[in-house]
Amino acid sequence: MDLQHLSYFTEVVRQESFSKAAQTLHISQPTLSKIIKHLEDELGVTLLNRSTRHIQLTADGDIFLKFSLQTLAMADDLQVSLNDGKLLKKGNLSLGLPPVIGVSFFPEIIANFHNLYPGVHIQLIEEGGKIVEQLLREAKIDLGVVVLPIDEQQFDFLPIVERHLSLLVNSNHPIATKESVHLSELRNESFILFKEGFSLHDRVREACMQEGFEPIISFESSQWDLISEMVGAGLGIALLPDTVAGRTNTRTVSVLPKTVPPISWDLALIWSKHHYISHAARVWIDLMRDGLTRQTTNRTI
């Protein structure tokens, strides 16, 4: 048993297919099958159920997957420590996040990480929360930032911030001067939502349906600033995170800070429980966790 064979095994599990994994690993399918069979013979257990269309883990395979991921992570840490003196001098980190989240919180965090580890290339993938979760399931990105709740059987997570949605209306709208509005009062309004694939799309629809109505959706967009501009043009109303609502054009848009009931917008950094987490990703997680701890400490002093 060696590290390469462990990585082969985890790739088969990720792809749920010997043929797809073999293509990714640039080896032949028969060779890959022999390697996995050798692992099973060495361990004396069956790791994979091959009788279904997609390869599935057995109970023993699930245990071995956890061991493989932990071992690969430890090996990665060791290699980095030996080569880089416990500092990241190079590497890659891919982070998926919706645009509305990036503009609110991450420029400062990215700058801090870059100052500490300038050799690490950070790739930002701006997609809706649902797509970010899918990319993590497919191991196409290292980390994601999404709106809670999530599937806790699939992902580990670090809560980042608890916020709420604010209501944006045209400055000439009859409710523009109110401090708050009950959601049920909006049943006849035209809504401008984020596109499907964004968690906020579902969050707004669910909140409205809990108040007894299906929102009338007039427009959808993937850009919060375009949504705000459309509100300013009188094309509808929108519910956006309070952190970006304050960036709107106050000449044409009025922001009602609260809705009744409030719509929560709780963010978390998430990563897959079932895939290898790179050293760069784990450093990012630790950096964010330390930063959040300092913020909490400062608020209690």
CATH number at residue 225: 3.40.190.290
Residue 66: count of CB within 10 angstroms of its CB? 12
Residue 272 lies in a domain: no
The answer on 289 and 145 residing in a single domain is: yes
- Say which residue, 101 or 93, is predicted with more confidence: 93
Q: Name the pTM for this structure.
A: 0.67
pLDDT at residue 299, as a whole number: 44
What percentage of the chain has pLDDT greater than the value 90?
Answer: 55
Q: Are 174 and 241 found together in one domain?
A: yes
Lowest-confidence region among 88-97, 170-179, 253-262: 88-97
Among residues 69, 84, 99, the one where a domain terminates is 84
Q: Do 170 and 103 reside in the same domain of the chain?
A: no
Please report whether residue 273 resides in a domain. no
For residue 237, pLDDT over 50 is answered with: yes
C-alpha–C-alpha distance, residues 299 and 296, integer Å: 5
- Is 285 within 8 Å of 143 (Cβ atoms)? yes
**Helix, strand, coil percent content, the chain, rounded in steps of 5:** 45, 25, 30
For residues 63 and 123, membership in a common domain is answered with: no
Cα 18 from Cα 218, distance rounded (Å): 46
262 DSSP assignment = -
Rounded to the nearest 10°, the torsion over CA 32, 33, 34, 39 is 90
| Residue indicated by tokens 């990714």 | 24
Tokens 């629809």 -> residue: 205
pLDDT score recorded for residue 298: 47
What are the tokens at 105? 């919180």
**For the chain, how many structural domains are there in total?**
3
The last residue of one of the domains, among 25, 57, 84, is 84
Residue 15 located in a structural domain: yes
**Over 90: is that where the pLDDT of 83 sits?**
no
246 within domain boundaries: yes
Q: What average pLDDT is seen over the chain? A: 88
Does residue 69 sit in the same domain as residue 18?
yes
In terms of domains, do 110 and 166 share one? no
Q: Tell me 177's DSSP state.
A: T
In 3D space, the residue among 178, 109, 96 whose CA is nearest the CA of residue 142 turns out to be 96
Residues 199 and 260 in one domain: yes
Work out the end-to-end distance of the chain between its first and last CA atoms, rounded to an integer number of angstroms: 52
196/209 Cα distance (integer angstroms)? 16
Average pLDDT over residues 117-126: 89
User: Within a domain: residue 46?
Assistant: yes
Residues 170 and 254 in one domain: yes
Same domain, 58 and 133: no
Q: How far is CA 123 from the centre of its chain?
A: 14
Name the strand (E) or helix (H) holding 126.
strand 120-126
Residue 270 domain flag: no
Same-domain check for residues 45 and 180? no
CATH number at residue 28: 1.10.10.10
Residue after which a domain boundary falls, among 52, 84, 116: 84
pLDDT above 50: residue 297: no
Three-state secondary-structure class, residue 269? strand
pLDDT digits (tens, 9 = 90+) for 147-198: 898 999 999 999 998 889 999 999 999 999 998 899 999 999 999 999 988 8
For residue 271, the SS3 value is: strand
Examine the domain organization and report whether 245 and 173 are in the same domain: yes
- The answer to whether the CB of 94 falls within 8 A of the CB of 138 is no
| Helical (H) or strand (E) element with 89 | none
- Residues 145 and 292 placed together within one structural domain of the fold: yes
Paired residues of 272 in beta bridges:
155
* Domain membership of residue 26 as a residue range: 3-84
pLDDT band for position 300 (50/70/90)? very low
CATH number of the domain where residue 110 is located? 3.40.190.10
Choose among 294, 292, 286: nearest CA to 113.
286
CA-to-CA distance for 85 and 198, rounded, in angstroms? 41
Residue range 64-81, pLDDT digits in tens: 999 999 898 888 777 665
Judge whether 296 lies within some domain.
yes
Average pLDDT over residues 26-44: 93
Residue 61, domain member (yes or no): yes
